[in-house]
Amino acid sequence: GQQVMQIPQYQHVQEGEDFTTYCNSSTTLSNIQWYKQRPGGHPVFLIQLVKSGEVKKQKRLTFQFGEAKKNSSLHITATQTTDVGTYFCAGWWYGNKLVFGAGTILRVKS
Amino acid sequence: EPEVTQTPSHQVTQMGQEVILRCVPISNHLYFYWYRQILGQKVEFLVSFYNNEISEKSEIFDDQFSVERPDGSNFTLKIRSTKLEDSAMYFCASSVVNMRRSPLHFGNGTRLTVT
């Protein structure tokens, strides 16, 4: 079935360190979206990647979509305490169903 | 900025009771969704709705669940006879167009507790 695997499940970093979360699908995706959920909050859209090999940046966040459109990553440079939360990738193949990965919980020690 | 609004924020119900969760999507959005998140776990797709009918549903969305858009603004999720395992945060979401081009905008959620 349609699913995206996301690792790691949990990462605890020192403020200023980098952070990366990875997503993988066994089948080719049409697009992949990334969301952030703060503790106690709701998922908030960060970005959508559509093209093979696409790389997009938002300040300290870098998003990549693999050449085969089966994997994606989110990298945060020099984490800050405001980065804490759960980062989800969400894959879309076709139709009206966006499938979320399990999420990576990021904790930042100051 | 326009928001998806959900009511109530917290609903406590007894097993076997019916509950209706309410959502007001963003006004110019055409696609509507329900997702649920059991505490600390992944965000699970339940159903998508477009043009007054269900476009897709997951295996979770069985005969106990139904959705409705009773008027031009509300979008509801009904659980006919709640079970303990229905306890979760339920998120409504909407999008302008389909997922090919448009992200989902989520509401703040309704925490459903079944006792």
What are B33-90's pLDDT values in tens digits? 999 999 878 999 999 999 999 999 999 999 999 999 988 889 999 999 999 999 999 9
Closest CA to A19 of A53, A67, A62, A56: A62
- Amino acid A65: pLDDT: 98
Q: Which residues pair with A89 in a beta bridge?
A: A34
| pLDDT string in tens for chain A (110-residue length) | 789 999 999 999 999 999 999 999 999 999 999 999 999 999 999 999 999 999 999 999 999 999 999 999 999 999 999 999 999 999 999 888 999 999 999 999 99
Number of H helices, E strands in chain B: 0, 11
CB contact under 8 A, B107 and A48: no
If interface means Cβ-Cβ distance under 8 Å, which residues of chain B face chain A? 31, 33, 35, 41-45, 48, 50, 55-56, 58, 91, 98-100, 103-109
Q: Is the pLDDT score of B101 beyond 80?
A: no
Nearest-CB residue to A42 (from B42, B45, B107): B107
A75-80 long-range contacts, CB within 8 A, separation 24+: A75/A18, A75/A19, A75/A20, A76/A18, A76/A19, A76/A20, A76/A106, A77/A18, A78/A16, A78/A17, A78/A18, A79/A13, A79/A15, A79/A16, A79/A17, A79/A18, A79/A19, A79/A106, A79/A108, A80/A15, A80/A108
Residue identified by tokens 């989902």 is B104
- Amino acid A106: pLDDT: 98
Pairwise CA distance, residues B7 & A35, whole Å = 23
Do the beta carbons of residue A42 and residue B108 sit within 8 Å?
yes
Q: Which residues pair with A25 in a beta bridge?
A: A4
Closest CA to A98 of B47, B113, B6: B47
Nearest-CB residue to B104 (from A41, A95, A98): A98
- Amino acid B99: pLDDT: 67
Sign of CA dihedral B68, B71, B75, B80: negative
